[in-house]
């Protein structure tokens, strides 16, 4: 009977260990830009407006075993904006808004990553729009599906911080807060 009691503990411990989920490190180094999206919402005359950017380039070096060493960069072609109508798209390219003739791209370059737990991260970086740079923190959720990493993130910007929509547009017809959402898709390396 002495040997049976410890053997039961060993068996229970082995079964419990086998039932634990297997967490493996994964590396993501190439963004599939065709499967990825960048969208935004804002309010105009109390109605919500949805838009997207169709052209961007992204680089990624993200290892879940060493997230603090991760690096990400994004360059958005601002003239690829689609705010739902050709009139809106034309207006947003003008000097009062994005001024795409002078500032054709917006960029984000990461400077640090903090692990929040449960596949959540906070990515800090420098966002540059219209020649103005601000440090932003972007909460990101990483989902892995069939060896594909899906990085979902969202942040809220104030257009006034980047002098977007000045002049007659500064009166509040368009909300100052712009909600940015992105989904970057990257195959596991």
Instruction: Measure Cα distances from 185 to 9, 126, 142 in Å.
Output: 44, 21, 10
| pLDDT higher than 80, residue 91 | yes
Say which CATH topology domain 24-187 has. Lipocalin (2.40.128)
| Distance in angstroms (rounded) separating the CA atoms of residues 127 and 129 | 7
pTM given for the model: 0.83
3 state DSSP class of 17: helix
Q: What percent of the chain has pLDDT over 90?
A: 78
- Domain edges within the chain: 24-187
Question: Each residue of 2-17: pLDDT tens digit?
Answer: 444 444 433 333 333 3
| Distance in angstroms (rounded) separating the CA atoms of residues 144 and 15 | 26
Please state the rounded mean pLDDT for residues 95-117: 96
Question: Each residue of 117-130: pLDDT tens digit?
Answer: 999 999 999 999 99
3 state DSSP class of 104: coil
Q: Which residues have CB under 8 Å from 95's CB, separation 6+? A: 101, 102
Q: Which residues have CB under 8 Å from 52's CB, separation 6+? A: 37, 38, 39, 40, 81, 82
Tell how strand 81-82 and strand 105-117 pair up: unpaired
The dihedral region occupied by 170, where left means phi > 0, alpha psi between -120 and 50, and beta the remainder, is alpha
pLDDT of residue 29: 93
């Amino acid at each position: 009977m002495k040997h049976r009691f410890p053997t039961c503990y060993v068996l229970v411990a082995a079964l419990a260990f086998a039932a634990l989920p297997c967490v493996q490190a994964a590396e993501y180094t190439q963004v599939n830009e065709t499967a990825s999206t960048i969208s935004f919402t804002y309010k105009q005359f109390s109605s919500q407006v949805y838009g997207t950017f169709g052209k961007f380039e992204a680089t990624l070096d993200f290892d879940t075993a060493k997230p603090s060493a991760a690096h990400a960069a994004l360059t958005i072609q601002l003239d690829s904006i689609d705010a739902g109508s050709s009139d809106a798209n034309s207006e947003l390219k003008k000097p009062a808004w994005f001024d795409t003739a002078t500032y054709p791209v917006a960029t984000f370059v990461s400077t640090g990553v903090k692990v929040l737990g449960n596949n959540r991260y906070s990515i800090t970086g420098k966002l540059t729009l219209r020649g103005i740079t601000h440090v932003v923190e972007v909460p990101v959720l990483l989902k892995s599906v069939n060896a594909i990493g899906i990085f979902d993130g969202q942040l809220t910007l104030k257009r006034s911080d980047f002098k977007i929509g000045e002049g007659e547009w500064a009166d509040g017809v368009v909300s100052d807060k712009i909600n940015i959402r992105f989904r970057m898709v990257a195959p596991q390396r």
